[in-house]
Amino acid sequence: MNIKEFEELVLKELKKVVDCIITENLELPISAKSRVGAEISDWLEEKFVEYTMNNVFFKGSEGAARDSTKNPWDARTDFVLNNTKEEIWIDFKAFKITSANSNPDIGTPNKIIKLINEGKFYHAFIHVFYETTDIGLKFVKLNNSYSKLYFLKDVSPTFRRNPKNQLQVNISAASEYRTREDFIKLLMDKIKESHQRQIEISNKALKKIDKITEDLLKANKKSEDDLTKKIQ
């Protein structure tokens, strides 16, 4: 088995678990409010731990602590194959089916850089989709599937880093297999491009500062002179 086959097996087994969770719990009594996506993610974390308790491949699964907002993963697990154990980080993301063309944040690049520097690599994103019902919500299929899974290393090449140091990608953008080395190079290229864009924006803004300052001083002098005349 090579690395690509190993990665495909991990995703295949992850999808089995997630699709099983969803098909056995198609409707949830969760009201459609502003944080419904976060509530679904919390629910999926708990269910993932429950459903992998006696799994052949996934061992030691755990969800993020509820009081921790800075946890780097929603859930983590060890994928065990023969004598190999590989840690997998998981991010669950739930989207209303009508928002399937949005561009959500998928985390800071610092997180994956830290993961790789620690000798690990696999950060899986699991997308699920829902629509509202009279009693709450129900899971629905997108492109004939209840879930969309990919490793961050295989994220669509259309992803970008925004000025807040968050990676973003369109929900509907297809993932694309690449080697681990190719991902590292692509990630660093994207980070470099983002910083270059920010430098260009800052340089343009800096060139306008003197003119803006001059205009403000003129406007203030006029209004200050007018006020002085009125109060004399």
Tens-binned pLDDT, residue by residue, of the chain (232 aa): 899 999 999 999 999 999 999 999 999 888 766 678 888 999 999 999 999 999 999 999 999 887 766 789 999 999 999 989 999 999 999 998 888 778 888 999 999 999 999 999 999 999 999 998 888 899 999 999 999 999 999 999 999 999 999 999 999 899 999 999 999 999 999 999 999 999 999 999 999 999 999 999 999 999 999 999 999 8
| pLDDT at site 7 | 97
Q: Name residue 142's amino acid.
A: L
| pLDDT at site 36 | 83
Provide the strand spans (E) within the chain.
27-28, 58-63, 75-81, 84-96, 122-132, 137-140, 147-151, 160-161, 167-168
Q: Which residues of 141-173 are buried (b: 16+ CB within 10 A; e: fewer)?
A: ebeeebbbbbbbbbbeeebebeeeeebbbebee
| pLDDT at site 192 | 97
Task: Report if pTM > 0.85.
Answer: yes
> In Å, what is the CA distance from 80 to each residue of 55, 70, 87, 190, 231?
10, 27, 9, 32, 82
- Half-sphere exposure of residue 173, counting CA atoms within 13 Å on the CB side? 18
DSSP state of 113: H
| pLDDT at site 104 | 86
- Please list, in sequence order, all residues whose beta carbon lies within 8 angstroms of the beta carbon of residue 160, skipping any fewer than 6 positions away: 167, 168, 169, 190, 193, 194
Q: Would you say 46 and 87 are in contact if contact means Cβ atoms under 8 Å apart?
A: no
Q: Where do we find the tokens 């297809």?
A: 174
Structure tokens, 190: 């994207």
Residue 166 backbone dihedrals phi, psi, to 5 degrees: -115, 140
